[in-house]
Structure 1
Amino acid sequence: MTRSLRRDLYAAGAAALLVAAAVLAGRRIQDTSHTLFVDWPPLLASWGPHLGPGTPAAVLVAIATVVHGPALAARLPWRALLPVAWGTGAAWICSLALVDGWQRGIARRLTTRYEYLQVIDRFHDIPAALRDFTRHILLDSPDNWPAHVAGHPPAATLTFVLLDRAGLRGGGWAGIWCIAVGATACVAVLVAVRALAGERLARRAAPFLVLAPAAVWMGTSADAYFAAVAAWAVALLALAVTGRSFWWAGASGLLFGLTCYLSYGLTLVALIAAAVLALGQGGIRERPALLVPLLAGLAVVPTAFTLAGFDWWEAYRLLVTRYHQGAGGIRPYGYWVWANLACAVIVTGLATAAGLRRTGAVLRGRHTEPRDGVRLAVLVCGALLALLLADLSGMSKAETERIWLPFAVWLLPACALLPRPRAWLTAQAVLALLLNHLLRTGW
């Protein structure tokens, strides 16, 4: 065993110990003070070993990806790799969701009392609903919004309102939307990595993006949809700065604006965008006018919502108050500030912990990875910094296995730096299958 591989195993072992500590400490805190408001800390889940109709498919997708994924990713034409990655990723997410059956796993996920579909009827007059949106955020306000509606800008809810208006009504269609769109996050990350760090590393990252443990929470969470929108904003920015395209720049700005109106916390995606701009500074120096369509696109969604009567800043101020009115004001920061990181380990897997160790080694110049590896490391570090700032903010205490999906997908490319991909992919698949079959996750 080489020294580098041994250090990878040490990093994975340290990550596993962090998870174990979060489980044990969380169990004690919850049993004694009942302040965590989760049944199986650090995850919002309960113990419940089970099998389901999705079990055979999930196992088959896992085996096929572990055995054939690295070779196919290296051999397929690039234009074929992207739809194959999307299809396999969607199959992985869907099969894991169906372990809980169609109703509990997909159709009912977005119809609970916390979710967006509960308020569809209150948006029959969309302009009026937007003007009054902030009046229903606080818990003591009349007809206060359900938790997830209040916790996000109205573009999140409007997505499901518009699906309903288009005839795609109910939790089943909403779940399918989140799976189908959420699975494209994998493709977006591959596009960005190829543009910024080269095709070799993008191909090596592909199986890890497909077979991520994060799939347990991407089916069917609206955060999977948010993750995809944010990922495409970053990917189009990467294409804009490397290809010097005004069209990609404008489209990227448009999606960045939408991202900020899907989730307040996703303003931190700006740190990933900053990494992209740093890596593509040559293209910007040669064509500084790229910033014009980028900023113009960025202004579209905020301007539209502001003119419609929704005040983003006022809504966020009220959300902070609402957050502290509920469980967020009781959950102990001293536990969650590090237990959230254990959740990140669970979502991204032990392979990503080892990949992040290699990322650090690349940046310190202690790894023989070519220049493309350094560029990949910079991109990954942008996502890691965004995640750490979200953690320190105190506005992400618990449920980060779902909330941090838009950041987690950008940590997974670190696995491209690992040797022996099949062994690490096996660890990723086993973790996801165990999580989905031993726990009943929720949000």
Structure 2
Amino acid sequence: MHDGSLLTAERTRPAAPVPTPVPAAGRTPRPVAIAVLAGTGLTVVAAVLAALRLLPAGSRAGAWRYRYVHTFSWEMLLPFAGGVAAVLALLWLTHRLGARRERLALGMWLAAAVPLQLVVRAADEASLGAIVGSDRANSFYTPSLRFTAYEYLTRFDEIVHALPQHARSNMPGKTLLYHLMGAVTTNPAALGIAVTAVSSLAALLVYLVVREVLGDRRVALYALILCLLVPGRLYFLPILNAVSPVPILLSLWLFTRYLRNAHWGWAVGLGASLYLVFFFEPLPLVMGLTFAALAALALYRRRLDGLGLLKLVSLTLAAFAAVYLGMKLVFGYDLFVNLAEVLADATDFNERAHRPYDVWVVRNLGDFALCAGIAAVVLIGYAAWDAVRRGVARPIAVLTLSGLAVLAFLDLVGINRGETTRLWIFLAVFLTIPVAWVCARSPRAWPFAVVAAALMLQVATTTPLIAFIRP
């Protein structure tokens, strides 16, 4: 393993791996093995509790629960078996391809992304098409049929109050995504598959971010695969919360590209992509803590100076302002007015729904574990312990601790109360990075295979039992 990355290499040339000794005789480090087995054991316990209809999902005291809808049957484990077989076969093929055919291996996993996810969540009786077409489950599809994209933006202030609940309380980007996909098809089943494909772009972006920040092919590939298997994503496909990680990860990748090569184009792209984050789902902007932490590390290691940081901030703000003014002049759409209304509606909704802060500040953490995967949470804890033990001024430590800081901040600020399993998806996807890093600490593949199997077991035993989404 190594910490070779854009923060330890010259910006004028590609980052070169910095080798460090691997465990003797190819053995898995004992702490890694303990963390993997502990996480897997807890996942099995959770699966048994779900089968007995005892696993909590939500909070009765907090005025929001996901109800149980079925009793357990062994047939529910068939998607788990199929998913494990597919992942093991693909891992074997990846090993056979070797490091020199990295792009081919990457293409293979991306080609398998949508089929793999559909297999793992196959036990859910609610079809993708039924969920897309339901105003109760997904209220963004219907408005895309009623209004053209131009009409939706130019008359947004006028029509927003007549929209279904979720479309009314969200930014317009989600409905406009259906407009964009509707240029190809308006069939709900096809759109469900399209949403799955768009959501899977998060896996590619996680891969690219890891390659930039850590410079480690193996960690990057593991993170890509784990991103596809995040339970929260699979629970809520094709709900558009599964797409929410894409804009913020795009911004993070552009940001890391600038840290490697301080070209104005990366900063301009960053400004435009941050507008997209606001426009689609502003909640992930809390990951600005990660951006700030990476910038601080770059300054500390003297790979970014004050002038470069000033250039980055100035160009990013200028690009953001240009997009903002362009949208306002062309469509009459004011992002910040809309954002203020959405935030006010979220605060008011928590009060009207009687969802108390003191309940959800605790319950949110349980919902995050359900979203990220119980096995993954154990490995994230190990990565955090390692970061504190070995020093925080390392790229993986910065990624891990800043991700946990985002978790703590969002939990303590109290915006998310109820239905939070889906609201944590963007962060659960990002935190696959330390999970992948822990698995890659072993020269063996079994820790990663076991963690991937644990995530699939959690999905297979909870998706058909708990009504995360119902049309």
CA distance in 1, matches of 2:143, 2:193: 19
Q: 1:107 maps to which residue?
A: 129
Percent sequence identity is 19
Aligned equivalent of 1:270, options 271, 278, 288 = 288
Could you say what secondary structure the match of 1:100 adopts? coil
Shift, 1:300, TM fit: 4.1
Distance 1:328 1:321, change over 3 A: same
Q: Does 1:150 align with 2:168?
A: yes
Distance 1:57 1:431, change over 3 A: closer
CA distance in 1, matches of 2:63, 2:242: 24
Q: 1:93 maps to which residue?
A: 117
Shift, 1:277, TM fit: 2.7
For the 8 Å contact 1:196–1:280, the answer to whether it is kept is: no
Matched ranges for 1:12-51 at <5 A: 30=60, 36-40=63-67, 46-47=69-70, 49=72
Letter in 1 for 2:453: T
User: Greater relative contact order: 1 or 2 (C-alpha under 8 angstroms, separation 6 or more)?
Assistant: 2
CA distance in 1, matches of 2:350, 2:312: 44
Matched ranges for 1:190-201 at <5 A: 190-199=207-216, 200-201=218-219
Aligned-residue RMSD, C-alpha: 3.6
Shift, 1:259, TM fit: 1.0
Aligned equivalent of 1:346, options 360, 370, 384 = 370
CA distance in 2, matches of 1:346, 1:29: 13
Shift, 1:6, TM fit: 4.0
Aligned equivalent of 2:387, options 363, 371, 384 = 363
1:138-192 CA distances to partner (integer Å, 9 max, x unpaired)? xxx5x2x22221222112212212333x142132233222111111111111111
Aligned equivalent of 1:377, options 389, 393, 397 = 397
CA distance in 1, matches of 2:317, 2:335: 18
Q: Which has the higher helix share?
A: 1
Could you say what secondary structure the match of 2:381 adopts? helix
Gaps of 5+ in 2: 1-28
1:182-208 CA distances to partner (integer Å, 9 max, x unpaired)? 111111111111111121432443443
Could you say what secondary structure the match of 2:213 adopts? helix
For the 8 Å contact 2:79–2:119, the answer to whether it is kept is: yes
CA distance in 2, matches of 1:214, 1:380: 19
Aligned equivalent of 1:417, options 428, 438, 442 = 438
CA distance in 1, matches of 2:78, 2:55: 34
Matched ranges for 1:4-403 at <5 A: 5-6=33-34, 30=60, 36-40=63-67, 46-47=69-70, 49=72, 59-66=81-88, 69=91, 72=94, 75-76=98-99, 77-100=101-124, 104-114=126-136, 115-124=139-148, 126-127=150-151, 129-135=152-158, 141=161, 143=162, 145-164=163-182, 166-199=183-216, 200-217=218-235, 219-281=237-299, 282-285=302-305, 287-288=308-309, 289-307=311-329, 308-323=331-346, 326=349, 329=352, 330-366=354-390, 374-403=394-423
Q: Larger deviation: 323-332 or 147-156? A: 323-332
For the 8 Å contact 1:96–1:215, the answer to whether it is kept is: no
CA distance in 2, matches of 1:233, 1:15: 33
Q: TM-score, normalised by structure 2?
A: 0.77
CA distance in 2, matches of 1:284, 1:377: 19
Q: Larger deviation: 65-74 or 105-114? A: 65-74
CA distance in 1, matches of 2:105, 2:234: 23
CA distance in 1, matches of 2:40, 2:78: 28
CA distance in 1, matches of 2:142, 2:71: 27
CA distance in 1, matches of 2:418, 2:44: 18
Shift, 1:105, TM fit: 2.4
